[in-house]
Amino acid sequence: MSGFVALIAQTARLGLRAGGGALIGLIFFLAVVTVIPFGVGPDQNLLARIGPAVLWIGALLASLLGLDRLFGGDREDGALDLLIVSGQPLALVVLARAIGHWLATGLPIVIAAPLLGLLLNVEPLGLAAVTLTLLAGSPALTLIGTVGAALTAGLARGGVMIAVLVLPLTVPVLIFGVSAVNGAIADPDPFTAPFLILCAFTLGAGVLGPVAGAAALRLALD
C-alpha cells in the first residue's frame, strides 16, 4: 500500500517538475479556449451557449498531451522492468501511474476550468456544473488515455498514435459530461442521470483501464 502511494506521489512529482507535462497541458487548455472565439466570433450569447462544450473539449484535448511520457520514460530507463519484477500486481502499478498523472495534469485543468469559463461568458451555475462534471469525468479520460499509453509503450514515437487511438473511445465521456452541464443550465433536461452515468464511466474505467493497460504493458516488453 505504501508502495502504491509512493508510486502515485512519484508520478505526480515527475509530472509537475521541470520537463513534466503538467504545465504544458494547462497552457494548451488555455490556448484551445482562447482560439475558439477567434474562430466562431466574439458573440457573447453564442460563447455562453457553447462555452461548457468548449471547456470539455479543451480538457479532453489537454488530457491527451502528456500521455506518451507516462510509460515511455519508464521503458527507456528500465524502470518498467523493475516495476514488473517487483512482484506487485501490474494493474495496480498502472492504476497508481494513472492517479498520479491525473493529480499532475487533470486536477489543474479542473481547477482552471471555471476561470476560463469566465472568459467564455458561462453563467455561474454553468461554471459550477462544468467544474463538477470535469472533476467526475476527467479521471475517466486519464484512465482511457492510460490504456492508449500502455498500448504504444513499445513504440519509439507513439505520441500522435495515442491521440488517434484514444479519441474515439472518449466519445461517451464527452457526451455525458456536456449533457450533464446542459442539464444543470437548461431546466427541462435532467442533470442527475447523465452525471451519475459519468461517475459510472470513471468507476468502470478505473477497473477496466488498469487491467487492459497491464496486459498491454506486458506485451510491450516481450
The residue (of 114 and 154) whose beta carbon lies closer to other proteins is: 154
Instruction: Tally the C-alpha atoms within 13 A of residue 118's C-alpha that lie toward its C-beta.
Output: 4
Binding to other proteins by residue 158, rule CB under 8 A?
A: yes
The residue (of 32 and 166) whose beta carbon lies closer to other proteins is: 166
Binding to other proteins by residue 172, rule CB under 8 A?
A: yes
Q: State the minimum distance, in angstroms, from the CB of residue 131 to other proteins.
A: 21
Q: From CA 79, how far away is CA 83, in angstroms rounded? A: 6
- Piece in contact with other proteins (CB under 8 A), picked from 37-45, 53-61, 125-133, 209-217: 209-217
Taking a C-beta distance cutoff of 8 angstroms, is the pair 153, 75 a contact? yes
**Cell triple for residue 69?**
511520457
Binding to other proteins by residue 222, rule CB under 8 A?
A: yes
Binding to other proteins by residue 168, rule CB under 8 A?
A: yes
Judged by DSSP in three states, 155 sits in coil
Write the single-letter amino acid at 43: D
Binding to other proteins by residue 139, rule CB under 8 A?
A: no
- Piece in contact with other proteins (CB under 8 A), picked from 27-35, 80-88, 103-111, 175-183: 175-183
Q: From CA 183, how far away is CA 195, in angstroms rounded? A: 9
Binding to other proteins by residue 179, rule CB under 8 A?
A: yes
Q: State the minimum distance, in angstroms, from the CB of residue 109 to other proteins.
A: 22
Buried b (16+ CB within 10 A) or exposed e, 69-94: bbbbebbeeeebeebbeeeeebbebb
- Piece in contact with other proteins (CB under 8 A), picked from 24-32, 47-55, 114-122, 153-161: 153-161
Closest to 28 in 3D by CA, of 80, 67, 70: 67
Binding to other proteins by residue 123, rule CB under 8 A?
A: no
Q: From CA 62, how far away is CA 60, in angstroms rounded? A: 6
Which residues contribute to the site for other proteins (CB under 8 A)?
A: 147, 151-152, 154-155, 158, 161, 164-165, 167-169, 171-172, 175-176, 179, 182, 189, 197, 208, 212, 215-216, 219-220, 222
